Amino acid sequence: MTISLSLFIGFLLYWQAMQQAQLQHSAELPDTARFDALEHWIIVVREPGTKGQWPSFPYHDVLQKRYKRLRRDEDDSAPLLLTDLPNDKAGRVALSTVKPDLSSFELLTLARKLAGGHDDYQATELGIAVIGFSAKKSARVAEALLAAALAADAEMPDYHSKDKKGTRLERVHLHGVPDKYGFERTFAEDEGNALARYLTALPHNELTPALYRKRIAQLAREYGWKSQFFSIAQLEKKKAGAFLAVAQGSPEKDGGILRLRYTPDDPTSENALALVGKGICFDTGGVNLKPHNYMMGMHEDMEGSAVALGALAALTRIRAPFPVECWLAICTNHIGPDAYNPGDIVTALDGTTIEVVHTDAEGRMVLADTLTLASRNKPKLIMDYATLTGACVYAIGKAYSGVFTNQEEFLPRMVKAGVDSGERVWPFPMDEDYDEALESKFADTKQCSSDPGVDHILGARFLQRFVKHDCPWIHVDLSAGNNKGGLAHIPTDTTGFGVRFTLNLLLDQKLMK
């Protein structure tokens, strides 16, 4: 595969945009000289109560007076103070108090606001001071602030004709957290999230299936992943009719299923984790054409694949001790003379016959054959990500994503991973009687139901039948993939939701122990 010079240069610029600030870490609080040396600070003080005095740190008396005055004026229990340092250095401070029991989502949301307080006062160095907490809780607060600062600093695609003169963050000075607490995973999760957001935000003419594959090929070289691509011709030989039904409407036969693999030097398990992502680079709805207001933003219908890539990047960066395979179903859902139609009967790769009901339910079609391929090697766990259904958005909104699994014992661990990571999820039922809505007079199953209501559940039930060999499986319906104004610590509408959740689920909840 050759890469054009313009695409290669574009990727180098993208890779530079992914570069992260360096961290300087100190358990001590900064002295006055250190405060005066930096122009920008984020300060979080443990909530002492309305009459309590803050611990001593430079300028604490002046800052506390300003904060108390702001609290009275705004009638807010924990407002955000954005103010100048009381010195002649023109330093800028974003400050708030925090209760130790604040939830991860609330803490990350506050961190986003604190990090955003410096938007108009960009600098290459940022100071973060965490004051008055126990060692463990100081690390938790610092992690949220660092995650938010890195997320705010990540560059996203920008096509303005005039170059922005904004600066990138080069160094973060963290104070008040014991040195034993490292933040390597925070940096890795930010790298994965930034990758997912960047790719998802690219317009379709910059991320056709062919261009997407070229970008991924360069990523594979950078991260050391092995790569295998199943082209349209190869999928025709395999009789992957569910995927091909969607891909056949495109005038360019550039879609396919891409397999990536990370293998650690000394794996703790031979069975890999399989990450599967829906990569519809643009979704017109096909013959069931979307109306205008639903057509806008459909270049983001590949976000599931970008999140799978981001999770793979983060796991690679922290050198996860288990092998990881990443399967990406990449194509477009076009309208045209060759597009598939409602009423068509197609045969999936595993031999299942499918009655097409609605051509805009294309995600489950391309994932069906991809899940079949991904489960052939009997992975220890399969996780798939997809912007699959509007029904999930209607059910829980855009602040949560829906999760489904064939392992009931996973349910409390998935919820806890969402609570702890700040990327909140909610599980839905997977009872067999839902399959009644997918019964077909003409084929083994319907693709979806023509009746409104629980399409997010029916979509998951449809996908489950293509998970083979009793593999443990989790499906994430990314209803929180785009949220106006950002979500938790992420400042952009495109959230890249799922990377933090995945690493917490795998590592902290020990699904890949």
* Contact yes or no for 41/93 (Cβ under 8 A): yes
Asked if 253 is an active-site residue, the reply is: no
Quote the CA–CA distance of 92 and 125 in Å, as a whole number. 12
Residue 20's Cβ-side half-sphere holds a number of Cα atoms within 13 Å equal to 23
User: Is 364 tagged catalytic?
Assistant: yes
CA distances from 114 to 64, 185, 205, 357, 374 (A): 17, 21, 35, 48, 42
In three state form, how does the secondary structure of 131-176 look?
Answer: ECCCHHHHHHHHHHHHHHHHHHHCCCCCCCCCCCCCCCCCEEEEEC
Instruction: Name which of 364, 372, 329 is nearest 469 in CA terms.
Output: 372
| CA proximity to 178, closest of 143, 147, 150 | 143
Cα–Cα–Cα angle for 504, 510, 513, nearest 5°?
Answer: 135
C-alpha span between 454 and 404 (Å, rounded): 13
Give the span between the Cα atoms of 307 and 304, in whole angstroms.
5
Question: How far is Cα 331 from Cα 211, in angstroms, rounded to an integer?
Answer: 11
Beta-carbon contacts of 471 under 8 Å, excluding residues fewer than 6 positions away, are: 274, 375, 378, 379, 381, 382
Please identify which of the residues 290, 317, 376, 380 carries the catalytic annotation. Answer: 290
Phi–psi pair at 324, nearest 5 degrees? -130, 130
Q: Which of 364, 398, 446, 461 is catalytic?
A: 364
* Residue whose C-alpha is closest to residue 275's, from 385, 173, 141: 385
Report the C-alpha gap between 292 and 424 in whole angstroms: 30
Positions marked active-site = 290, 364
